[in-house]
Amino acid sequence: SRRSEVTKSKTICLSLAFITIFLHLFLALVSLSTYHQPCDHSLPPKTTFVRDLARTNHTAVGIRDVAEPPAGNAKKDPEGHPSVWPPLDAKRAESLESDLSKLEALFDHPLYNVPSPPVPEDDWLLKVKPKIEASEMSSQIWVSSRQDGYEDIQWNRSTDSHPPWLRFHLGISRWQLYPHHDPNMEALTQQLAMHRIVSAGLTSTAQAQSFTQKQERDDETNYNLYYFSDFERHNAEIAAFHLDRILGYRRVPPVVGRLVDVVKEIKDVTTDRKLARTFFNSPVGNVCFYGQCSYYCSTEHAVCGRPRNLEASLAVMLPDLSLATRRSWRSPWRRSYSRSKLAKWETEADYCSTVKKTSPYNKGTRLVDFMDMVILDFLMSNMDRHHYETFEKFNNNTFLLHLDNGRSFGRHSKDEPSILAPLEQCCRIRLSTWLRLQLLSSPQYRLSDVMRASLSHDPLHRVAPLLSEPHLTALDRRLKTVLETVSRCQKHQSKDGGGDEVIFDDLARLKDIFTPAG
């Protein structure tokens, strides 16, 4: 009897176990058949970037979804891969469309389309010269116009015969890196964003220079950190290019953002042994590297993918120094780069009068060119402008290159008035800049709106906006400060009978067709 009861109990237990296993398998199959992507709204905002990276895979031709291609007429990249980016919500799309209309109207304004005479041959940085071979067949090579001993030739700037980066080099002139309506810009930026990376190194003569992501876009610089200890930001380099273009300068080389596969596009293609030795896997499985440099190059300050995808900015390289020599100039308003000492301009009230008497600031446009750079730096809060460069071929009569902007946009909640010291002390600004600043302060062309629109063209915008809204708001606030500074200069000079000396008139032809507001 007892043995019969035990046998019966075992039978019941086994039956229950089989039923339980069956039910689990059935539920699992049901779950798989109805599987779909998890709801995005359940994720906090801070995880959005990680989520997007987790769903994408970067290839040599761009970013594509690792899932099966969606049905229907999905938008595809040039290689035929479906776009990974989700559509914008209706409200955001409508706002962006309005901003894009403002940007288009801004670039169509007469202030951005001033008629100019043809560029003289001596005002091109580079020229193309025929090289006669032994067979008397000619081939085109591009050389520095500083080279001696070659004959005058017909320059070839064909948009069909050269790659985009070479067209960019051949389009550099005495007063700008590229023209306002540059037909080559779209092809050039697409090349930076999409083409295969064939090599990577700590030093290189490649066609692009890269800055990688080291912190989140909305992270502000620690207030206890000195400006010379701040990180360089990849999105700052991108934003500086767009802001420089919006201001009408065109003195920052084109910069584009892209997602880079740390393994396939850096580690596997580098021939730099020093760089190769710095790769490692983090405790959570992300691929990291730190390179070799004077500071911030250690495992504690490594750059890491998520797990392999890394945001980066790629800037077009300027022509090689053997072709176009550049001269480095120490900024007269250079900071002391000391934790205890002040620079002369911080202690001498009449410092600018000394600068105005010193070459090259005592003639030509160098002083107002410098003020253009000061305004750019103040708008993006760049305190690290210790030097600037020019192309040596043009001597002192040329534009200033606005390079190395990675320490910009570190803080949005605080403005740095000391950056404007040159403008306050010298009270000098070119008319074209003054009029464009007034234009950008109006609701019709508000700086923050056109900047938002311009940045939306960058590939990384759909991962996350290149500048957060607080940074865009700071641009409007700082622009107002610049305008108020110039207005104070005009009032002060008018009391002394010299108000007209504040404005350097470079737009006499536009006086009759444009009158500044207010």
315 labelled ligand-binding: yes
pLDDT in tens, 319-358: 999 999 999 999 999 998 777 789 999 999 899 999 999 9
- pTM of this prediction? 0.76
pLDDT score for 74: 38
pLDDT in tens, 118-170: 999 999 999 876 554 444 444 445 555 444 433 443 446 666 678 999 999 99
Q: 477 in helix, strand or coil?
A: helix
Question: Quick one: average pLDDT of 183-207?
Answer: 77
pLDDT score for 65: 26
Q: Quick one: CA torsion of 476, 477, 478, 481, rounded to 10 degrees?
A: 120
Whether the Cβ atoms of residue 306 and residue 283 lie closer than 8 Å to each other: no
**Around 390, how many Cα atoms within 13 Å sit in the side-chain half-sphere?**
19
374 labelled ligand-binding: no
389 labelled ligand-binding: yes
- In whole angstroms, give the CA distance from residue 142 to residue 324: 11
pLDDT score for 10: 53
pLDDT in tens, 356-369: 999 999 999 999 99
pLDDT score for 229: 55
- In whole angstroms, give the CA distance from residue 293 to residue 202: 9
Q: Catalytic site residues?
A: 384
Residue 287 has pLDDT above 80, yes or no: yes
Residue 230 has pLDDT above 70, yes or no: no
Buried b / exposed e across 409-435, counting CB within 10 Å, b at 16+?
A: bbbbeebeebbbbbbebbbbbbbbbbb
At 64, the pLDDT band (50, 70, 90 cuts) reads: very low
348 labelled ligand-binding: no
- In whole angstroms, give the CA distance from residue 317 to residue 172: 12
Q: Where are the alpha helices (DSSP H) in 109-206?
A: 164-170, 185-194
Which residues make beta-bridge pairs with 429?
503
Cβ within 8 Å of residue 75, ≥6 positions away: 82, 83
Question: Quick one: average pLDDT of 163-180?
Answer: 94
- In whole angstroms, give the CA distance from residue 207 to residue 190: 13
**Around 171, how many Cα atoms within 13 Å sit in the side-chain half-sphere?**
24
| Distance linking the first and last C-alpha atoms of the chain | 108
User: C-alpha 193: how far from its chain's center?
Assistant: 12
Look up residue 313 and give its amino acid: S
At 468, the pLDDT band (50, 70, 90 cuts) reads: very high
Q: Quick one: CA torsion of 128, 132, 137, 143, rounded to 10 degrees?
A: -20
pLDDT in tens, 240-269: 999 999 999 999 999 999 999 999 999 999
**Around 294, how many Cα atoms within 13 Å sit in the side-chain half-sphere?**
2
Best CA proximity match to 52, nearest among 467, 458, 460, 468: 460
Buried b / exposed e across 396-408, counting CB within 10 Å, b at 16+?
A: eebbbbbbbbbbb
Whether the Cβ atoms of residue 318 and residue 324 lie closer than 8 Å to each other: yes
318 labelled ligand-binding: yes
Whether the Cβ atoms of residue 192 and residue 254 lie closer than 8 Å to each other: yes
pLDDT score for 293: 75
Question: Quick one: average pLDDT of 442-458?
Answer: 97
Neighbours of 366 (CB within 10 A): 19
Whether the Cβ atoms of residue 412 and residue 468 lie closer than 8 Å to each other: yes
pLDDT, the chain, mean: 78
Which residues make beta-bridge pairs with 143?
127
316 labelled ligand-binding: yes
Q: SS3 for 306-347, per residue?
A: CCCEEEEEEEECCCCCCCCCEEEEECCCCCCCCCCCCCHHHC
68 labelled ligand-binding: no
